[in-house]
Amino acid sequence: MSPDDQIPNGTDVPIRQLFDAQRETALRLRTSSADERRRKLKRLNDALLGRREALYEAFQTDFRKPAAEVELSELLPVVDEIHMARHELGRWMKPKSVGSTLATFGTRASLTYQSKGRCLIIGPWNYPVSTLIGPLVSAIAAGNTVILKPSEFTPAVNAVLADLIAEVFDVTEVAWVEGDATTAQALLDCPFDHIFFTGSPQVGKLVMAAASRHLASVTLELGGKSPVIVDESTDLQRAAEVIIWGKLINAGQSCIAPDTLFVQRSVRDKLMQHCKEIIARRYGTRDTDIADSPDFSRIINTRHAGRIAALVDEALELGAKRIAGGPHDVDGCFVAPTLLTDIPDSARILEEEIFGPVLPVIEFEQVDDVIAYVNARPKPLALYLWSTRQATIRQIRDNTSSGSFVLNHCMLQYAHSRLPFGGVNNSGIGSSHGIYGFKAFSHERACLRGGPVLVVKTFFPPYTPVKRKLIGSLIQWLCRF
């Protein structure tokens, strides 16, 4: 683009024009240095922290979300990502030597990490900062251009982020595009080199299908029903404190929130009593207290509030018991913290991802029954276990599959930037955070250099009996190990 063709960031221009405008920048960024990328991350960090008050107000508008939760669940993960990338980027970018094999004796090999190019990041509404700007950090660290597409359900937060992106980046490097599903589809029609999507498995399938048309690589951060299992050996008070925190932060609108609680029958009533006491202590004893609490978020909109309320009402009509929680206020986007027991198998709340402050409780006697239940359903994004029995821990860890396995804690795996964050199959494809996010936005390029002695010449045609015998002997020797 010439200076006369510059597009101000955030303006309404054709999507294909934005995509094409990033081509030359993407090529240039392949050779950008670690220092150049660090400077961009520093500017992003400063601009984000400089808008803290604006973000507090925006989250109040969109979610009525308390400022402390904005700090903990939105700002802290991004700042931590930036901190790690700035300090580790030189090591991540450095070519890695790879030892030669017997078949490649006489050569030298290495791995280099090359920018993928033009990338698309589509974010969800539940954590509109950390799930959009977090992947952006990885994309910048890897040397890519990006088009960011936020959810249309968080207009106040989007306004703050749009201003931030316009201040920090030129549109040829990072562009901000808002809109609904039609806009998302127009973006997916462009031949991006990599697509990073966070959202539901249903929409994830559509994103993957669109990416296949251009053979673009994808990272899909999806969701599902993440179970939490509590056996009789654990500290029930501590388990209740952490489980309720993980379930009710952001009013349960978290992809890794506990979605179904399995508790051993002998301790069910005691655990439920702890849970009810913790809810009352943190948010109030009456429905009106909880509704007025400044520490409890709202559901994002009336459509989602109505969906959650309908799941609860159907379960109650089928015979479930509500041992905590009260009436819904769908018009006010309020669903009270709710605990349900004795839920019939036919209730939709046991099959659909809840994404709200409602926790179904299922009793069990034998751990094998829980394992069978989990394995009969799509693989969850997270599996939580509360136990002190080593045999139980090994049994559940080794006989289930999930994006992450968390013992005697909840949610905190997302904040650990030295661990990969991602799902498996229905709950996601690929990983993010730290070096795993850097790799997601990089092509791991194999490099091989021939040495001074051309060993492979031994195997050039014509294939004489001696050469065939030598090849056969090599294979036989390798099979000995």
pLDDT digits (tens, 9 = 90+) for 339-398: 999 999 999 999 999 999 999 999 999 999 999 999 999 999 999 999 999 999 999 999
Domain that holds residue 438: 3-222+432-443
> Residue 86: inside a domain, yes or no?
yes
Tokens at 255, concatenated: 């992809």
Query: At residue 320, does pLDDT exceed 70?
Result: yes
CB atoms within 10 A of CB 76: 13
Query: At residue 445, does pLDDT exceed 90?
Result: yes
For residues 7 and 50, membership in a common domain is answered with yes
Nearest to 411 by CA among 73, 82, 76, 83: 73
> Residue 464: inside a domain, yes or no?
no
Catalytic residue ranges: 221, 255
> Residue 274: inside a domain, yes or no?
yes
Share the mean pLDDT of the chain.
94
For residues 437 and 417, membership in a common domain is answered with no
Question: For the chain, how are helix, strand and coil distributed in percent, rounded to 5?
Answer: 50, 20, 35
CB-neighbour burial class of residue 392 (10 A; exposed 0-12, middle 13-18, buried 19+): middle
For residues 10 and 149, membership in a common domain is answered with yes
Mean pLDDT in residue range 113-140: 98
pLDDT confidence bin for 2, thresholds 50/70/90: very low
User: Per DSSP, which regions of 342-471 are E strands?
Assistant: 358-364, 382-386, 404-407, 428-429, 442-450
Alpha-carbon gap, residue 259 to 9, rounded angstroms = 39
Backbone angles phi, psi at 460, to 5 degrees: -70, 150
Q: What is the CATH number of the domain that holds 247?
A: 3.40.309.10
Specify the number of domains making up the chain: 2
> Residue 292: inside a domain, yes or no?
yes
Query: At residue 338, does pLDDT exceed 70?
Result: yes
For residues 157 and 26, membership in a common domain is answered with yes
For residues 243 and 331, membership in a common domain is answered with yes
pLDDT attached to residue 1: 39
| Residue pair 271/239 in contact by the 8 Å Cβ criterion | yes
> Residue 461: inside a domain, yes or no?
no
pLDDT single digits (tens) 11-47: 567 899 999 999 999 999 999 999 999 999 999 999 9
Mean pLDDT in residue range 311-321: 97
> Percentage of the chain with pLDDT > 70?
97
pLDDT attached to residue 451: 84
pLDDT attached to residue 190: 97
Alpha-carbon gap, residue 352 to 201, rounded angstroms = 11
pLDDT attached to residue 7: 61
Query: At residue 235, does pLDDT exceed 50?
Result: yes
Q: How far apart are the first and last CA of the chain?
A: 58
Q: Which helix (H) or strand (E) holds 111?
A: strand 107-115
For residues 344 and 413, membership in a common domain is answered with yes
For residues 396 and 269, membership in a common domain is answered with yes
pLDDT confidence bin for 452, thresholds 50/70/90: confident
pLDDT attached to residue 3: 36
Instruction: Name the CA radius of gyration of the chain, rounded.
Output: 26
Q: Which of 156-165, 179-188, 195-204, 451-460 has the lowest mean pLDDT?
A: 451-460
> Residue 474: inside a domain, yes or no?
no
For residues 236 and 211, membership in a common domain is answered with no
Q: What is the CATH number of the domain that holds 193?
A: 3.40.605.10
For residues 187 and 285, membership in a common domain is answered with no
For residues 32 and 158, membership in a common domain is answered with yes
pLDDT confidence bin for 4, thresholds 50/70/90: very low
For residues 197 and 60, membership in a common domain is answered with yes
pLDDT single digits (tens) 74-109: 999 999 999 999 999 999 999 999 998 878 888 899
Strand bridging mode 194-198 / 217-221? parallel
pLDDT single digits (tens) 245-295: 999 999 999 999 999 999 999 999 999 999 999 999 999 988 888 999 999
> Residue 164: inside a domain, yes or no?
yes
pLDDT attached to residue 10: 54
pLDDT attached to residue 86: 97
Helices (H), 331-420: 367-375, 390-399
Alpha-carbon gap, residue 479 to 213, rounded angstroms = 41
pTM of the model: 0.94
Instruction: Give 260-315 as a 3 state SS string.
Output: EEEEEHHHHHHHHHHHHHHHHHHHCCCHHHHHHCCCCCCCCCHHHHHHHHHHHHHH
> Residue 384: inside a domain, yes or no?
yes
Alpha-carbon gap, residue 414 to 126, rounded angstroms = 14
Q: Using alpha carbons, list the distances in angstroms from residue 168 to 12, 56, 162, 269.
A: 18, 20, 10, 53
For residues 155 and 241, membership in a common domain is answered with no
